[in-house]
């Protein structure tokens, strides 16, 4: 779905505006929230939202009610189906979900009413801000699943996969940790393979075609993915390891 660029500017010392959101170009709001959804954003989200005005914890377990054995970040979780599934199947893992789109955040919060999680924290702004805040070598995995492909060539610079963001992901991943990427857009898949392949911190783990043609282990599937397959766009599932 084509998204509308939304910019938030601040005035810096020299008086020139600067984008507060460096890596996020999508729209922040869609259809008007229902009253209950708006109440969840106002009342439930603050308890789960990470506060980046505070110093990052020395250990990420401090972000959760009980100790966790590993930590996983999902960038741009959409409606939260994948994040909800993963956080439910691995309670020993502390999850962080990023989604600036308020309607997607409201959808996840609604689902959490019926299936609460004590291993889930949320962030509703630019993922680049969170990546800069997190401690180095603190995450076991980072997922970027079906990101906005920005298919027009003049918009390629808006794609989340770029050298600067790969530097950020490399900094927060533990050695041996994984960066997972999924997309049904060939140009973005090739773009990602080229950019990650040029980055010295990652290796692509695939040894044969089935390794990128087969969904990740435990993959629940998504409605967007099903639509892409129906329309003849087979997804690619890329796994890169932090070296």
Catalytic residues: 148
Rounded to the nearest 10°, the torsion over CA 238, 61, 126, 146 is: 20
Closest CA to 35 of 23, 26, 43, 25: 43
Label the pairing between strands 120-123 and 93-98.
Answer: parallel
CA 228 to chain centre: 20
CA 134 – CA 172 distance, rounded (Å): 7
CA 100 – CA 222 distance, rounded (Å): 19
Residues 6+ apart with CB under 8 A from 90: 72, 119
- Three-state DSSP at 9 gives strand
CB 192 within 8 A of CB 161: yes
E-assigned strands of the chain?
9-11, 17-19, 70-75, 93-98, 120-123, 139-145, 173-183, 202-204, 236-242
Q: Phi first, then psi: what are they for 204, rounded to 5°?
A: -80, 130
Cα four-point dihedral sign 105, 111, 114, 120: negative
């Amino acid at each position: 779905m084509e998204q509308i660029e939304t910019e938030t500017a601040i005035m810096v010392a020299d008086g020139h505006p600067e984008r507060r959101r460096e890596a996020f170009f999508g729209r922040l709001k869609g259809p008007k929230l229902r009253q209950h959804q708006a109440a969840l954003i106002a009342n439930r989200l603050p308890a789960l939202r990470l506060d980046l005005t505070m110093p990052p914890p020395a250990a990420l377990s401090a972000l959760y009610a009980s100790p966790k054995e590993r930590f996983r970040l999902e960038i741009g979780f959409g409606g939260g189906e994948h994040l909800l599934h993963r956080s439910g199947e691995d309670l020993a893992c502390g999850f962080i979900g990023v989604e600036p789109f308020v309607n997607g955040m409201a959808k996840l919060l609604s689902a959490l009413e019926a299936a609460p999680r004590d291993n889930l924290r949320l962030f509703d702004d630019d993922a680049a801000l969170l990546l800069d805040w997190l401690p180095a070598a603190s995450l076991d995995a980072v997922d970027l699943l079906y990101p906005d492909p920005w298919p027009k060539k003049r918009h390629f610079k808006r794609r989340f996969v770029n050298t600067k963001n790969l530097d950020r992901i490399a900094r927060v991943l533990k050695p041996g940790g994984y960066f997972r990427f999924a997309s049904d857009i060939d140009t973005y898949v090739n773009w990602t393979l080229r950019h990650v392949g040029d980055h010295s911190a990652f290796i692509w783990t695939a040894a044969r075609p089935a390794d990128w043609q087969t969904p990740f282990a435990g993959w629940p599937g998504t409605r967007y993915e099903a639509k892409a397959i129906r329309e003849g766009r087979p997804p690619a599932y890329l796994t890169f390891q932090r070296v």
